[in-house]
Chains A and B, each alone.
Chain A
Amino acid sequence: MRRDTSISRKTMPSDDATLRVIIRTVGLTKHYQVKNVVTEALRGIDVEIYTGEFISVMGPSGSGKSTFFNMIGGLDGATGGRVFIDEVDVAQLTAVELAFLRCRKIGYIFQSYNLITYMTALENVTTPMAFADVPPDEARHRGMELLELVGLADRWFHRPIEMSGGQQQRVAIARSMANNPSILLCDEPTANLDLKTGSGILRILRQLNTDRGVTIICATHDHRMLDICNRLIWIRDGRVDRIAKRDEVHIEVGTIGGEQQ
């Protein structure tokens, strides 16, 4: 736990007035070209995300949520504009620095879990630690701690195929936390799960956010996410449609969202 507090101190300033910007995008655009057809997935996105925030990125399918997610995670190159992570321009990073960023600064959680199929749960969790050059014994120890955190310590030797979707996603969360990242990027983490399992995942994410001060950015359709996030970003047609704090939105969900349910 000592390690964790040191991280949170670094990423979360004690004084709320000096909240640090951890992710900033400036005029971010992304075009996909298939043969001669150009699809504009993002058409200029400007957002600022602060340390310790829990952000939901919402929008209909095809609005560019996932593309936005990939851009700010340094998983895909932008066509135009800039992404700053910790005030560092991602486009300026070399491949080796990008690997460092992906390994230790950002954790990724995917809709389809993307666990490595032939590895056990523990091996999946310790792989990022191996890339961070953590000695194997320490990696195993920390891996077990993380599996315990997501409630899967007793299943460390299971392969992904032997686990349910919810369990796999929990392993994926443990893996994303392997090197104590400052940022957790989740691409529809609950979309493939049933309500109850999804709630469990959300609870874990919430816990990571409050206890460890990890900045969490979630692309999601899940309305339960509204209850636990600080801010919401709506994306529509590759543009930011609206940004709102949770208390501003809560009322809307109470009326409109309530009708939907």
Chain B
Amino acid sequence: MLPPDEDNTLKRIDIQDQARLGFLRTLSMTINGMRHRLGRSVVTILVIVVAIAFLMNTLSESMLKNSVAGRLDERIKELHTAANLATHLSQAGTEEQVLSRLAAAGEEETIPSELQSMGGFSDATITELTEQAAQATAIVTWLERLNYGQRRRLLHDAEGYGVFGWLREPEHLQRFETELATMPSLKLPVTTETLHRFLEAWPTTRARSEQIRTGWLEAANRLATSLDGRSMIEALSDAEGEFGNQVREAGFQLDATTADRVAPQAREMLDVKRIEQTIDSDAMQIAIAQRLDILPGEIDPKLLWRFLGSGSNASWFLQRMTETGFRAEDLSRERLRELSRIYREEQALASVAWVRDSADRRILDQRMIWLIGVSLIVCMVGITNAMLMSVTQRFREIATMKCLGALDGFIALAFILEACMLGFFGGLLGALVGLTIGMSRMFGTFGSLLAGAIPTFSLLLAVGAALFLGVILAALSTVIPALQAARLAPMEAMRVE
């Protein structure tokens, strides 16, 4: 045999670079392969769908809940503006109310000018008082969160703002501080020096808030004289007119926007009351009962307002009111339906007030974060596992493809494309399923309140994020092992199994 010629043997005869397949050709081969493997792909897609649906469901429910809760606060406040203002104008608040209003003003960094003028304080004094009130509220809120045993050890049985009077006794304060030192998990919201200074000033603070209360009471009394026998609500229906000026003269603050909102609300309240009074008359009660084919005793305001929701019922009701001798000329069919809508909305708000009140909003949020975190992990583990399984099953195929002349790049691209498509369709389906479940569940809870409270943009963003997550997770968990297998020599890959 000829000895190998070292110089000559390295020359490369006839060996060229393997052609790279175009993207479209790779895509069509991948789609073709997926079509044939549909049975196996369906299982993988299902895992992705379930994982993403789970995540999306948790996400959408928490978003809807938060959105509704946020609007609930506003809506309830808005709905009750007139009633709250009526209370505010007719009687002075308690010491707690004064302090918490001051504290709220302090948080918003505004000067509570109404309270300032009621107490007749200078700017410096009211600023100082606001600061004290903020500290008082912070400490009281902090104390309220302690459990019974802790409270008992720290404060005996002092409660509310009374704790400050109690703590002013030196022995009590000493005991409080000694006990607090034994509870390292608890931390006062203010420093010890601040607490001491605050307690020092507490009698002054109380006296000042009492002064505000007195001023408030005087203003309320002044205003009472201009009521002329009307109820406060009746008077407030004229809030944008003469009565508004009288309110301001008495020493209260009433800006034009509030007045504009309060007046129609007060009129609504009056109308609602008037219409509800009609069912106290036997004639009306019997007429309605006959029309609805029920017993007169079953008629209550709730039923009445549902009844008035329809236009024909409303016209009939108006006619009946006039016939029975009620004043109805200033009412119209549209007005009745509008009132009905407002009434029912109020009822719905009241029925889901638990969202707003659910113990502490922070706890709700923490639970949500935890839930979302868990579903994210479930989603990641599920998708990664499903994709890893499907790739390892195909190591032999990868090796065979390499024997047939496939480039590493082709294998990587084919697997990326396949994973992206699985991730995309699975993710899309999952996101829609999760969203649908979340929406219908929340609709069951909140009903009509959900209308207008749907954060469409955020939900779409969440769908996009879930989709992105599905695609990225699927692609990463496929491509990394596939490329590893492709980089090996074919026979090594076949041995891996």
Contacts and interface: CB of A to CB of B under 8 A. Distances in A.
Interface stretch (B83-91, B165-173, B471-479, B488-496): B488-496
Interface in A75-128: 75-77, 82, 84, 86-89, 92-97, 99-105, 108, 114-119, 123, 127-128
B13 A88 contact: yes
B18 interface: yes
Contact of A100 (B36, B405, B489, B490): B405
Band of interface residues on B: 35 or more
B9 A84 contact: yes
Nearest to A24: B4
A48 B1 CA distance: 8
Given A76-B490, A108-B403, A99 B18 contact: yes
Contacts of B491: 70, 75-76
Contacts of A104: 405
Interface of A: 21, 24, 26, 48, 70, 73, 75-77, 82, 84, 86-89, 92-97, 99-105, 108, 114-119, 123, 127-128, 130-133, 175, 178-179
Contacts of B4: 24, 26, 84
Nearest to A73: B403
B397 interface: yes
Interface string B3-27: 0100011111111111101000100
B404 A87 contact: no
Nearest to B407: A99
Given A84-B4, A93-B15, A97-B17, 4 more contacts: A76-B490, A88-B15, A103-B18, A131-B405
B337 interface: no
Contacts of A95: 407-408
Contact of A131 (B14, B18, B490, B492): B18
A220 B37 CA distance: 34
Contacts of B2: 21, 48
Contacts of A130: 21, 25, 29
A2 B408 CA distance: 33
5 contacts: A96-B17, A103-B18, A105-B15, A131-B404, A133-B21
Contact of A116 (B9, B21, B397): B397
A173 to B, nearest CB: 14
A99 B8 contact: no
B404 A128 contact: yes
B258 interface: no
Contacts of B405: 99-100, 102-104, 128, 131-132, 179
B46 interface: no
Contact of B16 (A24, A100, A108): A100
Interface string B394-412: 0011011111111110100
